[in-house]
Structure 1
Amino acid sequence: MIVVGLTGSIGMGKSTTARFFLEAGVPVHDSDEAVHRLYAGKAAPLIEAAFPGTVTDGVVDRTALASRILGDGEAIRTVERIVHPLVRADADAFLEVQRNAGQPLAVLDIPLLFETGGEGRVDRIVVVSAPDEVQRARVLARPGMTVEKFEAILARQVPDAEKRVRADFVVESDEGLDEARRSVEAIVEKLREEARSDA
């Protein structure tokens, strides 16, 4: 089975691209969705122990947590030390299920693939990309997003230009949904062919 790492900086269109992989019949593990589940499960007591008052009724209050850790590098690293291993275990369990089902391809949607050294966990890397001004407009249109918050997030991400260089495939997300969907379908076809020849 070929494991595909799907990544891209904030606002690049990664979630939409992940949906196109699903539509093409490729199972996708969504790290953000896993975090949501973990924040209502295994991660909640660990987060509460580290940051008292950020959990309500057994669920991490993301807004409360964000306000506690924004701009505090050590606090952010503490959250990452708690959450990343749990997400990784969740992804490993997902891959095991797909392998046992005989899937030729599976996608790990990992926002911070390069930042967390995740390249070693995948066979191929797909980076979703768009011009800076498109990215900025998309992100600043999000509810509750500020320029300060956007800049803080960007500062912690590997630059888009570097991600593109390190990718096996790049999906340009600013050329319309149909074009992005066609890009994904072409990638899936190529990798399925590769999986067949390796079998």
Structure 2
Amino acid sequence: MGSGKSSLATLLRERGAGIVDADERAAHLLESDGNLVGQLADAFGDDLVDDHGRLDRRKLAHRAFSNDETRQHLDRLLRQPLERLLWETMDQLAPTARIVILDAPLVFEWGIESHFDAVIVVTVDSETALLRLQDRGVSEDEARRRRSAQWPAERQSELADFVVDNNSDLTNLEAQADVVWQALQDRVREGMA
């Protein structure tokens, strides 16, 4: 979180990749699945849902990331329906995009990395990531809790096929996107992806 993986995904989309944004799909799920919203309200408080049945995702995140137990409970409720939606969306893109990329923060934590032909990890120093999350309206404490829910970048990098360092500027990120895009295309041509 706060590493710039969505920025990289945008650059790869511009180069021709099909992108499935896990955050966007999760938001769609929370808007369309009344049963799930009810389960979340039961677990985290009825005041999360307004009179029109809409879930306050910011309030949910604040409560869910307050400690490991509540975060794990959110994961147990959300993971299965979200994974199903992500796979469906990727399957829908596959006929029209030679390369489909899942933009998601918890690939390793969910143990789904083996379902992909390649895994890209975007790294950034902790301070930069925290500042980026704070720029999105997340408090420093909550940003730290969210980041601690993820594996350390070093561990993810060891397991990744591609590591993109996003500690520089957009020009540098674009250059790295070009390298990754070319490597992914080469893999497709060689039948490795």
The interval holding the TM-score normalised by the smaller chain is: 0.7 to 0.9
**Shift in Å, 1:50:** 2.8
Report how far residue 169 of structure 1 moved.
0.8
1:16-46 Cα offsets, whole Å, 9 max, x none, are: 1111111111010000001111111113233
The corresponding residue for 2:124 is 130
2:155 pairs with one of 154, 162, 176: 162
Asked which structure has the greater RCO (Cα within 8 Å, sep 6+), the reply is 1
8 Å CA contact retained: 2:44, 2:64: no
Structure 2 stretches lacking a partner, 5+ long:
none
Stretches of structure 1 lacking an aligned partner (at least 5 in a row): 1-9
What is the aligned partner in structure 1 of residue 49 from structure 2? 55
**Which aligned pairs between 1:39-188 and structure 2 lie closer than 5 A?**
39-42=30-33, 43-53=36-46, 54-56=48-50, 57-101=52-96, 103-146=97-140, 148-188=141-181
| Structure with the higher fraction of residues in strand conformation | 1
Deviations for 1:103-131, whole angstroms, at most 9, x for unmatched residues?
Answer: 32100111111111121221101111122
Number of corresponding residues: 188
Q: Distance in 2 between matches of 1:93 and 1:115?
A: 20
User: What are the superposed Cα offsets for residues 65-109 of structure 1, whole Å, 9 maximum, x if unpaired?
Assistant: 2343332333222211121112211111122222333x3210011
Structure 2 distance, partners of 1:170, 1:196, is 21
Between the two proteins, what is the percent identity of the paired residues?
24
**C-alpha distance in structure 2 between counterparts of 1:194 and 1:70, whole Å:** 38
**Equivalent-residue separation in structure 2 for 1:73 and 1:130 (angstroms):** 23
Specify the SS of the correspondent of 1:60: coil
CA distance in 1, matches of 2:53, 2:112: 30
TM-score (norm 2): 0.87
Computed over aligned residues only, the root mean square deviation of the Cα atoms, in angstroms, reads 1.9
Separation of aligned partners in 1, 2:162 and 2:64: 34
